[in-house]
Chain A
Amino acid sequence: MLRFTLERFAGMVVTMLLVSVMVFLIMEIPPGDYADRYAFRKYSGTGVNVTEADIEAIRRDLGLDQPMLLRYFDWIGGIVLRGDFGQAFAFETSVAKVIGDKVWLTAGILFATLLLTYLVSIPVGIYAAVRRGSAVDYGLTVFSYLGLALPNFLLALVMLYFANRWFGADIGGLFSDQYRDAPWSLAKAWDMAKHLWLSAVVLAWSAVAYQIQTVRATMSDELNKLSVTAARARGVPELKLLVKYPARLAINPVVSTIGFDVNRIFSELPIVAVVLGLTELGELLLKAYLDLDMNVAGAILLLLTFAIVFMNFLSDLLLGWLDPRIKLGV
């Protein structure tokens, strides 16, 4: 188990390294650089005449005149060693400050969504497989088609509309007005929970649709396995049989795709955030892209991707623990 863990860990570090290179390249794509945009933003409209030499000075100041490779090491080194993601020019402060506790808000949304996804999709998928061909089963098939086809921002709008009608106007966003800038307290956390469910439902929607199909397919396979017939022939009571034999194995593909779900949720987050007025990393990412504040955007993209890679690592470990056959394969 230790060797398995170490190997997966090494794999995770390598992937993270490659991801950081890719994110860095994306940060470099927009025309112009930080110095240009910084100068433009700071002095445009102020009447100050910015010369090429001024920009050059800023560039030198920030070390932007260095070759790309050096700048990459500077950037990633700062992140790894000091937690320093550089400056956010649109906010005139450090990226770390801008991101701040939005990381935790995002994590909260992510876990609420994941929890909802699995709490719904696993039992429902199992039920659909056991009651194959029933009305519920067909209904779920239609639902899962819709789960893929309905753009999430549209779903968010529709949900928001109905939530407004049924639960009052103050349901979008993550907090009620009085808590938005208040320090963390129990009341604020509770307030967040009251708002969180809507985002969780919207973000979980397609993941649920997808996972139900996965669970249903695996469960249907597993139900027909000889080991299930054999256990039934030994007189294991039906409910215990279902849970212990096929359902236990039907969870494996779900576990192995946790990273995939996180990826999907993060992918939808910036779009859904626009509609629901969420104030977390996705919304900030979109804003940063629109401002071409690439230090912020790069930092967020890196954090989100690292989270996915880390979840992949966790899901590998979990799968290794759930399925004794995997350890042997290492």
Chain B
Amino acid sequence: MSDATHLTGDLTVAGACEHEARLKYYSASQWTLIWWRFRRHRAAMVAAALLGVMALAGIFAEFVAPYGPVTRDTQYIEGAPQIPKFCDAAGCSFVPFINGTKTERDPVTLRAISVPDPEVRHYVQFYVKGEMVKLLGFIPIDRHLIGLRPESGQKIHFWGTDDLGRDVFSRTIYATRTSLSIGVLGVLISFVLALIIGGAAGYLGGMTDNVIQRATEVIRVVPIIPLYMGLAAAMPKEWSTTQVYFAMTLILGLFGWPTLARRIRSQLLSIRNEDYVIAARLAGARPGRIIAQHMLPGFTSFIIVDLVISFPYMILSETALSFVGLGLRPPSVSWGVLLQQAQSVRAIEQTPWLFIPAVFVVVAVLAFTVIGDGLRDAADPYAEAS
């Protein structure tokens, strides 16, 4: 719209456009306005894009990851990241490649170690044939986003391998799916609980409110990770990875609600005696309907902000629990499970690439925080309108 204003030098046309733009602005819905304001928050847009890429990679992990999360490459154990290059001693090529490796005996320890073999080049390809996997769990494909030609007989490990020769890049992609989805489910569960608990406290008030406030206070006062640990420790050892996964989301969700419940309660309390709420009550609407139809819409945007900024706590908690062995267990892969392999200073010195999942944790948490800030600014109706 504003572009048109600049292009046409004609004042009257510009005036009309201006008028139309204003009209559009004044008639825009609350959500359109929030979106407009959010779009101008550059950091938040970048964060949203990053998260989007992460989520997509996680959802289509089978396709994006060149190998399975537990596929071992015995030829390349604790190997360093292999970065595709365009040139080597033998000259340059338009297609990026990596040099091959060959196994030799260490002259001192006589252990088999892999050393680079500059004679051989393996070219990196997109949409390459590889392991047969089920995309989204049910679409069988044997193509992967990136990798080496199967004829090469070698695998490429962009981010190196761990002590069992598993590809860190592939594992991180699969872990992204687990960790983000646990965050989503955990937040959803705590949201539902917060709605019920905060809704009851705020709508009913009085004695119910008092009791709920007391209970909330007790939960808030217990240090959260030790509390989570206690519940996680109780998971039977014989549970399957799926059972553990859902138990974890339940545990995280079960105690994530107090902050949000508090927000919902205080907002509801502040408007429960407004005329339009009383009118709805007098008209005989049921409490659930009054809350959902008349009371919640007024502060949905705040709830969304709170939801977004509660993601980091979920992700960090899951990571911490898995890190100390009380959360997800191998063979599941999550960021925390992967970082379990990187618990010592020795790991920093010898296999620093095992810390790459930590970068994902930091980026995801930062992204959610920045998006939360951006949304908060965007949702603020008092933010200056222009």
Report which A residues bind B (CB closer than 8 A): 14-15, 18-19, 22-23, 26-27, 29-31, 145-146, 148-154, 157-158, 160-161, 164, 259, 263-264, 266-271, 274-275, 282, 285-286, 289-290, 292, 297, 300-301, 304-305, 308-309, 312
> Shortest Cβ distance from A46 into chain B, in angstroms?
21
Q: Is the CB of B221 within 8 A of A271?
A: no
- 27 of the cross-chain contacts (CB-CB < 8 Å) are A14-B214, A18-B215, A23-B222, A27-B230, A146-B362, A149-B312, A151-B323, A264-B223, A266-B223, A267-B225, A268-B225, A269-B223, A270-B324, A271-B324, A274-B324, A274-B343, A285-B229, A289-B229, A290-B233, A292-B233, A292-B234, A297-B233, A300-B226, A301-B223, A304-B226, A305-B221, A305-B222
Shortest beta-carbon distance from B321 to chain A in Å: 9
A149 touches B365 (CB 8 A): yes
B224 at the interface (CB under 8 A from A): yes
Given contacts A145-B369, A161-B349, A301-B222, 13 further A-B contacts (CB under 8 A): A19-B221, A26-B231, A149-B366, A151-B320, A153-B339, A157-B343, A158-B348, A267-B225, A268-B225, A289-B229, A300-B226, A305-B222, A308-B223
Assess whether A164 is in contact with B345, with CB atoms less than 8 Å apart.
yes
Instruction: State whether A22 touches B222 (Cβ < 8 A).
Output: yes
Q: Is B91 positioned at the interface, with any CB of A under 8 Å from its CB? A: no
Nearest A-chain residue to B313, judged by Cβ: A148
Contact B236 A289 (CB under 8 A): no
| Cα distance, A308 to B222, chains bound together (Å) | 8
Q: Return the 3 tightest CB-CB contacts between A and B, nearest first.
A: A289-B233, A149-B365, A266-B223
A275: nearest chain-B partner, CB-CB: B343
Inter-subunit contact A18/B218 (CB<8 Å)? yes
Cβ of B232 to closest chain A Cβ, rounded Å: 8
With A and B bound together, what is the CA distance between A286 and B227 in angstroms? 11
CA of A295 to CA of B293, assembled, Å? 48
Q: Are A149 and B223 in touch, CB under 8 angstroms?
A: no
Interface check B334, CB cutoff 8 A = no
**Contact indicator B214/A18 (Cβ below 8 Å):** yes
Known: A145-B370, A150-B362, A289-B326. A271 touches B225 (CB 8 A): yes
Within B132-173, which residues are at the interface with A (CB < 8 Å)? none
The yes or no answer to B358 lying at the interface (CB within 8 A) is yes
Residue of B nearest to A274 (CB): B324
Residues of A with C-beta under 8 A to B236: 31
How does the 8 Å CB contact mask read for B214-248 relative to A, with 1 for contact and 0 for none? 11011111111111011111101000000000000
Collect the chain B residues with CB atoms within 8 Å of residue A14's CB: 214
User: Could you tell me if B369 and A157 are in contact, using CB atoms closer than 8 angstroms?
Assistant: no
Determine the distance from Cα of A138 to Cα of B86 in the docked complex, in whole angstroms.
40
Chain B's nearest CB lies how many Å from the CB of A10?
Answer: 13
A contact residues around B64 at 8 Å (CB): none
Q: Let me know if B342 is at the binding interface, CB within 8 A.
A: yes
A-chain residues with CB within 8 Å of residue B224 when the two chains form the complex: 263, 267
B51 touches A (CB below 8 Å):
no
Closest to A163 in B: B345
Q: Which of A157, A269, A285, A290 sits near B345, CB closer than 8 Å?
A: A157
Complex Cα–Cα for A22 and B339 (A): 31
Shortest CB distance A234–B (Å): 33
> In the complex, are the beta carbons of A154 and B223 less than 8 A apart?
no
User: How far apart are the CA atoms of A303 and B224 in the complex, in Å?
Assistant: 14
Interface string of B354-366 (1 = CB under 8 A from A): 0100100110011
A50 to chain B, nearest CB (A): 19
CA distance A152 to B347 in the complex (A): 17
Q: Hey, which chain B residues are within 8 Å of A15, CB to CB?
A: 217-218, 221
Residue numbers in A under 8 Å from B215 (CB-CB)? 18
* Beta-carbon contact of B339 and A154 below 8 Å: yes
Chain A proximity of B326: nearest CB distance (Å) = 6
Q: Is B200 an interface residue (CB 8 A)?
A: no
